[in-house]
Amino acid sequence: KYAVKPDDIMHDNQDPKAREWFYELTRQTHRLRFVATGGLLKNALKPDDAITNDDLIDTGNDDEVIETDDRRLNFTWFKSKGGYLYNPIHNE
């Protein structure tokens, strides 16, 4: 997702303050990823200050029964591979 709209970054390239603003924006957002939510996720993902204890406790379904065998998948970051890989050592 783009951090700013294209109209926000259009500037007069002759204006030194506009150039400085653009370079600073680029420096601060370099290698960051942004998430925008919509549809079903719009209400599910809220800012931390908007979450209440009731949101954390109430799942919205009182009849909900979840059975699990407590298995988890673990992936480890490998810089040399440039990504996460399944790690069987931690998946017992």
Q: Over 70: is that where the pLDDT of 3 sits?
A: no
- Which of 2 and 25 is assigned the larger pLDDT? 25
- Mean pLDDT for 54-82 is 73
Q: Is the pLDDT of residue 42 over 80?
A: no
DSSP state of 66: -
pLDDT score, position 31: 84
32: its two tokens? 């960051």
Mapping DSSP to helix (H, G, I), strand (E, B) and coil, where does residue 8 land?
Answer: helix
Q: How far apart are CA 36 and CA 68, in angstroms?
A: 31
pLDDT band per the 50, 70, 90 thresholds, residue 80: very high
Amino acid found at 43: N
B/e letters for 80-91, b = 16+ CB within 10 Å, e = fewer, are: eeeeeeeeeeee
